[in-house]
Chain A
């Protein structure tokens, strides 16, 4: 019987984070990229909670609440932008949106 140590959580968190990071770079749909960002955030949350439990320190959980709140705010702004883009053009592709080119 395998014991469920914090290592498992950390491995899972890093896997999720990597999925998120790679997804952000390879996918071109802004909505999917957005979800990838959420994945990365939650991977970090997971690692925080794992550490909080193994170190018996409540501060890790407190930070998670902060991250959740900030992420919620970010979702509001980000989705707003994406909806605005979707209204203006057919079929969104992150590589087509390059108005800020130098």
Chain B
């Protein structure tokens, strides 16, 4: 238990070592070193988990305080780690998946000129992420929160020589800042209300606070969660974040960082229990995000963009769960999603690797013949995300839907949205599977669209009408133009990235395939964590139970079975419909892949137009007010002091005799005072 600090310290050590010796260690070695650091951290996490399990249920809450960071009156912040059921399970899957993705990256990033720097950033990211989940107070969590934001920025724009990649990173960072403001205000309000920002102090005190305060705190932290976890209205950065290398997309923008918002809400569940309608806001935001993102995913042609929108949609599911206070289901889906989405992303990376960095799915086809391992693992991931029993995605998604159904009056309406999203999920994932691994070998022919004509606004690849739309759609960047709006994962590291008709796809090296196989196994069996059949199978629920104040109970017996049947039906309908459209060709795909969907409902381009037009004027006004009024006041104080100083310096004549006179007068005055007033 004394080893908690090692979990974030090991990746940090890796970061520091690579900082000093990274370039000297060179291509494969620095990668292996970073992987080793994370694997060691995983081993410690496992040991801690086993230790925690052996403790009595209600004592499973270990705090390790290293030192006091900021002692300041009644406000005291310590560098301390909190190991409880929630954080122990978080560090397990973060370090586990992190180690696998590090291993994968050794193959994927091979030959990149900035190879060691990539692992340096990855290690720093993991250290920050672990600090985020292990911190025992809000400020330490915020430190990790910002740390992962910085790493996300650095890694999205890793190939920064491409302007589009650099702007994608900037966009992610700026959008996240909006959410961070909510996090900070929430922390201030917590301190004002509770007089402490330690999680351990919040829980007992939470029942005593006013409902209005709890609602305000909940909403402020939800603003933070919206930014980090890419929910409406701040989700537009995540699809653009696909500009980063694919392992980054898998680790940061699918498995770990983007789930930080869900973690935060779960961590603050004692406050959420008092927060009233704030929970409805969370649930509905999640539901709308899930639906909107799923519809957009249907029309994407970039292999990673489909997965990006899918991630946004699945995060929407998780927020539906925590919003309806079905925290166990939310955490459950967070874990299973981490497995199967990391798997899908890494699979997509392996495909991209084999296809000379082409990301347009319309140029794939029939790859199952060339990439058998990638195909089988991707297939498992597809079954899991589509919600086919008995793979993991089915169990967690079904639990969320059942919990949502049971949530008061609004429950059934939310549930309908959830089922709709389940159908769409099965549909677009099947579409992707068919386009990539089945059908004819599309790259053999002539390229359907000239390179660079894929739409950049909203980062969406446009359907068949790309060239006309490119001209009229505003650019992605906040008010900034760019000549090459296509942000995509390409770099010069692996040589040529023009997909020739004569290209023969080859399977990726074993360092990339091994993580795929492990993740496929986990994606298949992770459902075992929490099976609804009987009480003893609900392991995750029992595990998390001590730290959750109020959990929305799942419906009983027949209702649960009925809901599960609907969920399976939804998956089947989605898969069948995709089969109907893309294999049987009974319906023209163009009638489903509407341009408006491909452009992401024009949400991103609207933002760009608003922020670039009237928004910019407003910001300029605020900046001017700041320059004139705020800075003016500060400068006036400065000028006042200067004037007073000029006046006073006249007294300093430099003449010794004047000073002597001053001393004499002073002495006499003092003597006169003592003699007359003090009655000696």
- Residues B654 and A33 in contact, CB atoms below 8 Å apart: no
Are B649 and A102 touching (Cβ within 8 A)?
A: yes
Query: Is the C-beta of B650 less than 8 angstroms from some C-beta in chain A?
Result: yes
Determine whether A99 belongs to the interface, using a CB cutoff of 8 Å to chain B: yes
Provide the residues of chain A in CB contact with B656, threshold 8 Å. 33, 94, 97
CB distance from B575 to the nearest CB of A (A): 87
Which segment of B253-261, B369-377, B657-665 sits at the interface? B657-665
How many angstroms from the CA of A24 to the CA of B663 in the assembled complex?
Answer: 11
Smallest beta-carbon distance B646→chain A, Å = 10
Chain B residue, CB-CB nearest to A30: B656
Counting CB contacts under 8 A, is A77 at the interface?
no
- Chain B: CB-nearest residue to A26: B657
Chain B, 622-680, CB within 8 A of any chain A CB: 648-657, 660-661, 664
Q: In the bound complex, do residue A100 and residue B652 qualify as a contact, i.e. CB atoms below 8 Å apart?
A: yes
* Nearest neighbor of A100 in chain B, beta-carbon distance: B654
- Are B655 and A102 in touch, CB under 8 angstroms? no
Chain B nearest CB, measured from A94 CB (Å): 5
Nearest CB in chain A: distance from B662 CB, A: 10
CB <8 Å contact, B664 and A95:
no
Q: Among A24, A97, A100, which residue has its beta carbon within 8 angstroms of that of B660? A: A24
Number of A-B contacts (CB under 8 A): 35
Contacts of B661 in A (CB 8 A): 25
Contact of B652 among A25, A94, A101 (CB under 8 A): A101
Taking a contact as CB atoms closer than 8 A, the residue among A21, A26, A98 that contacts B655 in the complex is A98
Q: Which residue of B lies closest to A21 (CB)?
A: B664
Complex Cα spacing A28 to B656, Å: 9
Contact code string A85-102 (vs B, CB < 8 Å = 1, else 0): 000000000110111111
Decide if B657 touches A99 in the complex (CB within 8 Å): no
B650 contact set on A, CB distance < 8 A = 102
B residues in contact with A26, CB < 8 Å: 657
Q: Which residue of A lies closest to B649 (CB)?
A: A102
| Given A25-B660, A102-B649, residue A94 in contact with residue B654 (CB < 8 A) | no
Closest Cβ–Cβ distance, residue B478 to chain A (whole Å): 52
B401 to chain A, nearest CB (A): 80
| Residue pair B657, A101 in contact (C-beta under 8 Å) | no
Chain B residue nearest in CB terms to A95: B655
Task: Report how many residues on chain B are interfacial, defined by Cβ distance under 8 Å.
Answer: 13
- List of A residues within 8 angstroms of B655 by Cβ: 94-95, 98
* Nearest-Cβ distance from residue B359 to partner chain A, whole angstroms: 71
Q: A98 contacts B653, CB within 8 Å?
A: yes
Closest-CB distance, B665 to chain A (whole angstroms): 10
Secondary structure call for the A interface = loop
A26 to B652, CA, bound (A): 19
Contact A24 B654 (CB under 8 A): no
B657 → chain A, closest Cβ, in Å? Answer: 6
Which residues between 29 and 82 of chain A lie within 8 Å of chain B, taking CB atoms?
33
Closest to A99 in B: B654
In angstroms, Cα B173 to Cα A83, docked, is 68
Shortest B231–chain A CB gap in Å is: 63
Which A residues are in CB contact (< 8 Å) with B648?
Answer: 102
Interface string of B359-386 (1 = CB under 8 A from A): 0000000000000000000000000000
Residues of B within 8 Å of A94, CB to CB, are 655-657
The distance in angstroms between the C-alpha atoms of A28 and B658, with both chains bound, is 11
A101–B654 touching, CB < 8 Å: yes
- Find out whether the CB atom of B660 lies under 8 angstroms from the CB atom of A102: no
* CB of B210, distance to nearest CB on chain A (Å): 59
Q: Is the CB of A98 within 8 A of B657?
A: no
Instruction: Tell me, in angstroms, the Cα distance from A96 to B657 when the chains sit together.
Output: 11
Partner of A102, one of B651, B657, B664: B651
Give Cα A97 to B657, complex, Å: 11
* Distance from B380 Cβ to chain A, minimum over Cβ atoms (Å): 82
Q: How far is the CA of A101 from the CA of B657 in the complex (A)?
A: 13
Q: What is the 8 Å Cβ interface bit string for chain A, positions 6-30, against chain B (1 contact, 0 not)?
A: 0000000000000001001110100
Which chain B residues lie closer than 8 Å to A21 at the CB level?
A: 660, 664
A98–B660 touching, CB < 8 Å: no
Q: Taking CB as reference atom, which chain A residue is nearest B646?
A: A102
Give Cα distance in the complex from A73 to B143, angstroms. Answer: 59
- Compute how far the CA of A24 lies from the CA of B660 in the bound complex, rounded to whole angstroms: 7
**Chain A residues whose C-beta falls within 8 Å of the C-beta of B649 in the assembled complex:** 102
| Cα(A20)–Cα(B660), bound, Å | 12
Q: Which residues of B contact A25 (CB under 8 A)?
A: 657, 660-661, 664
CA–CA, A98 and B661, complex, Å: 16
Cβ of A97: which chain B residues have Cβ within 8 Å of it?
654, 656
Compute how far the CA of A100 lies from the CA of B654 in the bound complex, rounded to whole angstroms: 5
Question: How far, in angstroms, from A94 to B437 measured CA to CA in the complex?
Answer: 99
A24 to B656: give the CA distance in the assembly, Å.
9
User: Which of B648, B651, B660 lies at the interface centre, i.e. has the most chain A CB atoms within 10 A of its CB?
Assistant: B660
Separation of A95 and B656 alpha carbons in the complex (Å) = 7
In the complex the two chains form, what is the Cα distance from A97 to B661 in whole Å? 17
**Contact partner of B653 among A24, A28, A33, A101, CB < 8 A?**
A101
CA distance A78 to B661 in the complex (A): 20
A33 proximity list for chain B (CB < 8 A): 656-657
C-alpha spacing A55/B649, complex, angstroms = 48
Bound CA span A28–B655, Å: 10
- B634: shortest Cβ distance to chain A, in Å? 26
Q: Which residue of A lies closest to B653 (CB)?
A: A101
| Cβ distance A92 to chain B, nearest Cβ, rounded Å | 12
Contacting residues, chain A, for B654 (C-beta < 8 A): 97-102
Q: Residue on A with the closest CB to B650?
A: A102
**Chain B residues with CB under 8 A of A101:** 652-654
Which residues from A are CB-within-8-Å of B660? 21, 24-25
A95 in contact with B651 given A21-B664, A25-B664 (CB within 8 Å): no
Bound-state Cα–Cα, A98 to B652, Å: 10
In the complex, A28 Cα to B661 Cα: how many Å? Answer: 13
**B97 CB, nearest partner CB in chain A, Å:** 68
A40 to chain B, nearest CB (A): 11
B672: shortest Cβ distance to chain A, in Å? 16
Q: A21-B664, A25-B664 are in contact. Are A95 and B652 (CB under 8 A)?
A: no
Residues of A close to B664: CB separation below 8 A: 21, 25
What would 14 A/B residue contacts be, using CB atoms closer than 8 Å?
Answer: A25-B660, A25-B664, A26-B657, A94-B656, A95-B657, A97-B656, A98-B654, A100-B652, A101-B652, A101-B653, A102-B648, A102-B651, A102-B652, A102-B653
Known: A97-B654, A101-B652. 10 other contacts (CB 8 A): A24-B660, A25-B657, A94-B655, A95-B655, A95-B657, A98-B654, A99-B654, A100-B654, A101-B653, A102-B653
Residues of A within 8 A of B (CB): 21, 24-26, 28, 33, 94-95, 97-102
Task: List 10 A-B pairs, minimum CB-CB distance, nearest first.
Answer: A102-B652, A98-B654, A101-B654, A102-B649, A100-B654, A24-B660, A94-B656, A25-B660, A98-B655, A25-B661
